Amino acid sequence: MSEKQKTGLVVSAHAADFVWRAGGAIALYASRGWKVRIVCLSLGERGESAKMWREPGMTLEKVTEARLAESKAAAELLGGEFVNLGLQDYPMRVPDETLFRLADMFREIQPEWVLTHSLADPYNFDHPLAAHVTQEARIIAQAMGYRPDTKPIGAPPVFLFEPHQTEQSNWKPEVLLDITPVWEKKRKAFEIMAAQEYLWDYYTRVAINRGAQAARNSDMKDIKYAEAYQRVFPFVGREFA
């Protein structure tokens, strides 16, 4: 009997967040045969598409169509499965219907791990809201009395990807993931996200810096690029590593 395919879940507030902050993890695990579902709460049409809004005659419908196409293409390149929950951003509001839909996804795919935003971000309220909703959906999906005809999830670890300004977001790197083997794929995904071209080089520098830190904090001196994450829950094991 073949082994069941392992799964991971990425919850992104906006269309491009999963690319900048977790694109390496998505591509890395997809290359190992995992199913990685990427859930975007919104496409970032209002607040994260400034380049498009500067074009004459731009409309919300045009921005939405373009950001959706970018997101699907980037997810496909990285090897992930893309789901858009269709909320608006700036401001983002999450109805119970969306919360329950996300909880149902936890039940459906039974993820081994979850990636989402930092718990604080004074520059972008949508980001911590996405983190809150993700963790609330996780808790609901653990509850025996929620949809008792479906299987509850266990306790998948939650990792918070790196915010744009770490110190102000009370975030620190606790996991450094080597993404060197899939870096070129992540960089190509950057270039699909044309509405935020100004971030391509910024997140390239972030990956290089985290790669240097990862090499310095390990015996893996061949690491060139890395992504950083903060844990929500403690590491549990019978050995330290």
- pLDDT value at 68 more than 90: yes
Task: Report CA-CA distances (Å) from 200 to 55, 60, 93, 131, 207.
Answer: 20, 24, 28, 24, 11
C-alpha distance across the termini of the chain, in Å? 30
pLDDT for the residue 50: 87
Q: What is the pLDDT of residues 131-185, one digit of tens each?
A: 999 999 999 999 999 999 999 999 999 999 999 999 999 999 999 999 999 999 9
CA distance 60 to 37: 26
What average pLDDT does range 104-128 have in this prediction?
Answer: 98
pLDDT-based confidence at 3, cuts 50/70/90?
A: confident
pLDDT for the residue 212: 98
3-state secondary structure of 219: coil
DSSP β-bridge partners for residue 188 = none
Whole-model pTM? 0.96
pLDDT-based confidence at 195, cuts 50/70/90?
A: confident
CA distance 92 to 96: 13
Q: Is the peptide bond before 234 cis (omega within 30 degrees of 0)?
A: no
Domains of the chain: 7-231 (3.40.50.10320)
pLDDT-based confidence at 2, cuts 50/70/90?
A: low
Percent of the chain with pLDDT over 90: 94
Asked if 232 and 157 count as a contact pair (C-beta separation under 8 A), the reply is yes
Asked if 58 and 3 count as a contact pair (C-beta separation under 8 A), the reply is no
